[in-house]
Structure 1
Amino acid sequence: MKAFVENRFGLPALVVVALAAMYGIAYVTRPAPLPPPPTGPTKVAVESVTTVCPGAKDRRVDVYLPGSLTTETMESGGPYVTKGPGGLEAGYLTRATSGAARGLAGVRCTEPAPATWLLGPGPADADVRLHLTNADKAPALADVQVYAVEGLVSGAAGIGLEIKPGEHREIDLKTLAPSADVMAVSVTTTFGRVAVAARTVLESGGVDWLPAAGTPATRVVVPGIPKGGGLRRLLVAAPGETDAAVQIRAVSEDAEYAMKGRETLDVPAGTVAALDVTTGIAGSAAALVLTSPTPIVAGVTIIGTGEKPDVAYTAGTPSLALGSAVARNTTGARLLLTAVGAAGKVRVQVVGAKGKAESPYELEIPADRTRDVRVKAKGDFAVVLTPIAGEVYGTRLQEERHKSGTLLTAQPLAPARTWTMLPALTDTPRVVLP
């Protein structure tokens, strides 16, 4: 051994053998490789849901859970709060054939959220009541800001509103922005969450609730513009600090096209712009696809026909990629479905008032077309939509013919609360650095 070590090649050979043994042991005992991090959002099941509806004593609320539909009655005029497992939906309809609030009005019970956008007529042309409810056990601090054609018009009066746990607050928006004839309302929380709803009664007649618009985005699809006569007005807000040059395309029952004379809309930063698209869609059921280099929010005001026309609203909404459900429907309900890009297909299922789920059926929507489909059901029911193929957007429309004018209400098909998308997570020390 001594001779081997003293040999000029002996020691290097021992080193090589030792290193080989060490690396061999390390290779055999190495831990399993970590899976690659996800490159996009992950679809996960929703475990529990809390929803809130503005209160109305003795009002009937329909509550849908997967496979069942029940009815509850509000015991007081306070907000209606319901909690349950994933898939929960709730809402109600009201109907009046006379008086200042004549019309059909539908509201979807909303989840408490850190931010909500609403678009519609302003307090100069309507009685607009904003409902804020804190259904959580912690206090919330909310900012209410109203944007109009001339910019932010609400001032400091709506900033820093403290809403205690369980508290409900109703705000007449005339106290914040009396001169706005069209508006976009932003409700954001510094901490906590609030559920938001707004009811409008036009001075010219007609009543409905404003649906929540999607978060500001560079591409917005506004579905559910019904066929027939009356006014169709597009509202677009640019909430950032950069002007928005919006490209507009209509997707009707027969074609996808740029409306002549209405191909673009310039929206100065921090303002709302209105555009009459009545003749642009020519009485067809349609959706509007808006693109802009600057994030925007958008909605459409729909005014019906007759001596005393009613009003309805739709707004930019996500596609049906996660499915959707509407808890409160009745005879004559229709689905306005639009496939953007490629052809689309959805599965439709009706759940009756007695909780009986009917056999589902499928609807196909041609590429870049809108379909107006009457729901095959009578009485009160929930309707559930499940995506099969394509990028499909939609709205549930409820209409009722009346001698003095059509009653109508619309509800954009919001993502079902069965699934949600979690953003990708990365392992980085930056999350603990100041």
Structure 2
Amino acid sequence: MRRFAAGRFGLVLLVVGVLAGLYGVAYVTRPAAERPVEAQPRKVAVEAATAACPATRGEDVSVYLPGTLSREPMRDAEPYTVSGPGGLEAGYITRTTSGAGRGLAGVRCAEPAAESWLVGPGPARARVTLHLVNADKAPAFADVEVYAAEGPVSGERGLGLEIEPGEHRQIDLRTLADAADVMAVSVKTFTGRLAVSARAVLETGGVDWLPPAAAPATEVVVPAVPGGGGRRELLVAAPGETDATVTIKAVTEGAAYAMRGRESVDVPAGSVLPLDVTTGIGGESAALVLTSTAPVVAGVVITGTGRQPDVAFTAGTPSLDLGSAVAANGASSRLVLTAPGAAGKVRVQVVPESGEPPAPIDVTVPADRTRNVRLKGEGAYAVVVTPVSGRVYGGRVMEERLRSGLLITAQPLAPARLWTVLRPLTDTPRAVLP
């Protein structure tokens, strides 16, 4: 009996030993633990898009759909709203050679958004009209806030605006901030979406539409500052509650450098700082690269030359990672492309209103340089810019020289509506907790 018990006990020890050995071998030879892979943003195709053009009676709106261009008349004083597949672009250009509205003025028809930013001269220097279009089927409630050199100036007058479905609201910004020389304007909806545009007619002469500016960020690139004579004024706004220290780098046709006397500037919280950068870029086409300790928005006021100078505007914009298109162009159009840091390459395709399009061309932009690319389109045509390599920023510039002075307009290359970037979803209790 004792011999049986000892044998059974030994068998148990043997089994335990074998199991322990197998566990040890498995532990030693186990694969290394893999770190969880963080979800990355995804580029996805846009299936449908909408654009709303502010009203200008009698003008033709250029409408670009992938591969085709058409022009549609704006028969009345109501906004022109167009919907179509991904890649839709629309816009128009006006040309006036006399009177208070003398100048070239180009506008990219805006897509409805929950937040929009504009930067430019204030109502003390220009007659600025803000256009709000609700292209959706539900009301939109929005806050319009104006920041000036002295800080936020619009108070509560622009808060809680209700824009009915299909409504087009025009706001003279003198009613919100009549004494502002320079300004940044934010339009934020807390219900619904709005297409936002603004037209500025300067007291000293010249007219153009303010392009949308990139949302506040600590890195901002303002492209498409054309070369030539005339004043160049950089406007930097720090709309948050923290002062911003901003370093400014110019990337011109011949060099990249921190501008002398403008290497670093301080922008008080809630204010807009104007800076004359005319001599800083030396008459060359350029982009301005801003790096800040707090989020900022930025744009440039471009003043032409001559007895009756025209004006144009450009603003901070994303790089051409998603491509871009400009629907309305003319015989004097050119691209101003910049590759901050490393060299970049894009493919440029002209799409005429009729006839076969020419073969696309590949354009290489050297590292830390700006390059002008003359467009060889005739009549009405669209231009499509597709990224090939590197990081490139740019804009479309049009100029016309008259005896009375240069006519000019500029349009930053906004991201094409062919693609969008979806941010990853994250599990969080804040989705259900108050």
- The 1:38/1:386 distance shift into structure 2, 3 A limit, reads farther
Q: How does 1:278-427 map to 2 (within 5 A)?
A: 278-354=278-354, 356-427=356-427
- The 1:302/1:16 distance shift into structure 2, 3 A limit, reads same
Q: Secondary structure at the match of 2:177?
A: coil
Instruction: Provide the residue aligned with 1:23 in structure 2.
Output: none
Q: Secondary structure at the match of 2:174?
A: helix
Q: TM-score, normalised by structure 1?
A: 0.92
Q: How does 1:3-22 map to 2 (within 5 A)?
A: 7-8=8-9
Q: Whole-Å Cα distance in 1 between the matches of residues 319 and 179 of structure 2? A: 35
Q: Secondary structure at the match of 1:401?
A: strand
Q: Deviations over 1:203-255 (max 9, x none)?
A: 11000000000010001000111111001000000011110111001000000
Q: Deviations over 1:104-132 (max 9, x none)?
A: 00000111111111011110111000000
- The 1:85/1:35 distance shift into structure 2, 3 A limit, reads farther
User: Greater CA deviation, 257-266 or 363-372?
Assistant: 257-266
Q: Whole-Å Cα distance in 1 between the matches of residues 429 and 355 of structure 2? A: 51
Q: Whole-Å Cα distance in 1 between the matches of residues 66 and 415 of structure 2? A: 14
1:76 Cα deviation from its structure 2 partner = 1.9
Q: How does 1:264-283 map to 2 (within 5 A)?
A: 264-283=264-283
Q: TM-score, normalised by structure 2?
A: 0.92
Give the aligned length: 420
Residue 43 of structure 2 corresponds to residue 55 of structure 1: no
Q: Whole-Å Cα distance in 1 between the matches of residues 12 and 165 of structure 2? A: 77
What code does the residue aligned with 2:181 have? D
What code does the residue aligned with 1:133 have? V
Q: Deviations over 1:177-202 (max 9, x none)?
A: 00001110111111111110000000
Q: Whole-Å Cα distance in 1 between the matches of residues 128 and 141 of structure 2? A: 22
1:356 Cα deviation from its structure 2 partner = 3.5
1:141 Cα deviation from its structure 2 partner = 0.6
Q: Secondary structure at the match of 2:431?
A: helix
Instruction: Provide the residue aligned with 1:186 in structure 2.
Output: 186
Instruction: Provide the residue aligned with 2:208 in structure 1.
Output: 208
Unaligned 5+ residue runs, structure 2?
A: 19-33
**Aligned-CA RMSD value:** 2.3
* Contact kept? 1:247, 1:264, Cα under 8 Å: yes
Q: Whole-Å Cα distance in 2 between the matches of residues 156 and 12 of structure 1? A: 83
Q: How does 1:2-151 map to 2 (within 5 A)?
A: 7-8=8-9, 38-151=38-151
* Contact kept? 1:52, 1:79, Cα under 8 Å: yes
Q: Deviations over 1:266-302 (max 9, x none)?
A: 1100000000000111100111000001000000000
Q: Secondary structure at the match of 2:321?
A: helix
1:15 Cα deviation from its structure 2 partner = 11
Instruction: Provide the residue aligned with 1:164 in structure 2.
Output: 164
1:138 Cα deviation from its structure 2 partner = 1.0
Q: Deviations over 1:148-196 (max 9, x none)?
A: 0000111111000001111110000011100001110111111111110
1:358 Cα deviation from its structure 2 partner = 2.3
Q: Deviations over 1:3-32 (max 9, x none)?
A: 99x955778999999xxxxxxxxxxxxxxx
1:58 Cα deviation from its structure 2 partner = 2.6
* Contact kept? 1:59, 1:73, Cα under 8 Å: yes
Q: Whole-Å Cα distance in 2 between the matches of residues 78 and 216 of structure 1? A: 31
* Contact kept? 1:233, 1:276, Cα under 8 Å: yes
Q: Whole-Å Cα distance in 1 between the matches of residues 398 and 408 of structure 2? A: 6
Instruction: Provide the residue aligned with 2:21 in structure 1.
Output: none
- The 1:280/1:51 distance shift into structure 2, 3 A limit, reads same
Q: Secondary structure at the match of 1:302?
A: strand
Instruction: Provide the residue aligned with 2:239 in structure 1.
Output: 239
* Contact kept? 1:304, 1:310, Cα under 8 Å: yes
Q: Deviations over 1:12-67 (max 9, x none)?
A: 999999xxxxxxxxxxxxxxxx9965532111111110111101233100000111
Q: Whole-Å Cα distance in 1 between the matches of residues 112 and 89 of structure 2? A: 14
Q: Secondary structure at the match of 1:406?
A: strand
Instruction: Provide the residue aligned with 2:223 in structure 1.
Output: 223
Q: Whole-Å Cα distance in 2 between the matches of residues 164 and 420 of structure 1? A: 27
What code does the residue aligned with 2:43 have? K
- The 1:268/1:375 distance shift into structure 2, 3 A limit, reads same
Q: Deviations over 1:281-324 (max 9, x none)?
A: 11001110000010000000000000000000000000001100
